[in-house]
Amino acid sequence: MQILVVVNNPKDWPIDIPGVVVISAREYLRKDDFSEFNRTRVFNLCRSYQYQSIGYYVSLLAAARAHKPLPEISNILDMNSQPVIRFISDELDQLIQKSLRHIKSTKFTISIYFARTVAKIYERLSVQLFYVFQAPLLRASFVCSNNKWHLQTIKPLSVSDIPEHHREFIVFAAREYFDNRRCNRPRREFYRYDIAILANSQEKDSPSNPKAMQKFLRAAKTVGLEPEIIGKNDLGRIAQFDALFIRETTKVNHHTYKFSRQAERDGLVLVDDPESILRCTNKVYLSELLKRHKINTPKTVILHNANVSPVKHQLGFPCVLKLPDSSFSLGVIKVDDEREFKEKVKLMLEESDMIIAQEFLPTTFDWRVGVLDRQPLYVCKYYMADKHWQIVKRTSSGRSIYGDFETLAVEDSPKEVVSIALKAANLIGDGLYGVDIKQIEGKLYVIEINDNPTIDSGVEDAVIKAEMYLKIMKVFLKRIEYRKHGYAGHRVFA
């Protein structure tokens, strides 16, 4: 990837870094040659990003040229928006209070150079602010009122704004930043685009096992995508990629959602998108959505403190209680009588203002239909764990025991199962979903729609094997091509 550092005057940039080209803003804006550059990252270090200034146009034209500007116009606008700054201040409140608690004055300023700051004590705060506002050089100002610190302003810095005694540090920070960026790494010619795969090898119930992850990497390379597995500390690198594939269990109040939001802001093709995460991870939302579109589900009541009593008449016992953001059978319990019901509901309502109660539908297996790009991808039967009512049984020691499975070819699966799964998944979007369905005496019930379905080697891929991973990566390639060039690419590399 070509790296351009754009400044008002190249003489202001004191750092010589191999592979980094320093040019003036006017040269970048006026030379048509730059329009032809592919795979280019533009670090905009102009003195001002004010509306219609030279710095503003550098980021604007970089986006139009399909380069990757830092900062983007959206980041520039965020820095000038007090509501956004207040929101970020609230989001980072715990870290802000912890970082600044020892300061005796009522005002404080941090200078942030490529995510680093001179005083190591403020480095975590600096990194988080850099991740949010995505400008190479920043100055954040804080004020303390009523014994609480707030982010007041955050502004970009130009090279000329850097104090003389910070010059040596910025040389270190810039070199470290560029040296650690994968975009400087030599690349093989046939990899046209980059895809980041967010995963956590330590996650207990990961959506993909290690063998599946290796198959994703091979499939990406086969279609011409250069893959890299990234972790939760790589949020600041997202803009370097063309696509993001999340293979870590998603939650809204979690780094996976932050990655998705940042990728969306940076214009990446992504699975899962933020809207899918928001919709699928909340069972209250799903219940209302499926009900409104007349998709058959188990009898369901959305519980809150004012409507607990009638449930025994509406659902009877046993019934199932679910926290809105439950996943992998965690936060899902079966209660057998009224005493247990009241006890568990009280505890769950302390955790969430609304929970789900559903009639208990005992079956020997659940259908799972994987859906991608509004098309069926795989069909599985997940059988209940031995002597248990769920497909996963968790022991007191924390061990997970799974039931058996059976994977079917999509074309050999019951049409009505695939049809209801598509109808449900298409209400969410065109991403990757897993629709769980129960079947009782020929009647189908949609249980939930998962935004991050399990794809394990030897299970979901048991029928179509390597083609499963190729299909997913071809969708990424098609969407990247469309986003960049307005057409869908289908060329596959051997």
What tokens were used for 60?
A: 């604007």
Q: Are 114 and 174 in contact (CB under 8 A)?
A: yes
Cβ-based burial of 25 (10 A; exposed 0-12, middle 13-18, buried ≥19):
buried
* Residue matched to tokens 């602010």: 129
pLDDT in tens, 201-245: 889 889 999 999 999 999 999 888 999 999 988 888 888 899 999
pLDDT at 190: 54
pLDDT in tens, 31-68: 877 777 777 888 888 888 887 788 888 888 888 787 88
pLDDT in tens, 9-23: 888 776 777 778 899
pLDDT above 90 for 266 = no
Query: If you compute the radius of gyration of the chain from its CA atoms, what whole number of angstroms results?
Result: 26
What tokens were used for 403?
A: 């039931």
* Residue matched to tokens 């592919």: 38
Number of residues written out for the chain: 494
Which whole number is the average pLDDT over 66-73? 83
Distance CA(356)–CA(204), nearest Å, equals 25
Residues 6+ apart with CB under 8 A from 128: 92, 95
Which whole number is the average pLDDT over 420-427? 97
pLDDT at 184: 40
* Residue matched to tokens 């040019």: 23
Which whole number is the average pLDDT over 389-417? 89
pLDDT at 180: 65
Beta strand pairing call for 300-303 and 225-230 = unpaired
Instruction: Show the domains of the chain with their CATH numbers.
Output: 2-182 (no CATH), 187-273 (3.40.50.2300), 299-360 (3.30.1490.20)
- Per-range mean pLDDT, top range of 77-91, 238-252, 384-398: 238-252
pLDDT above 90 for 167 = no
Q: Residues of the chain with pLDDT > 90: what percent?
A: 46
More confident residue, 330 or 418: 418
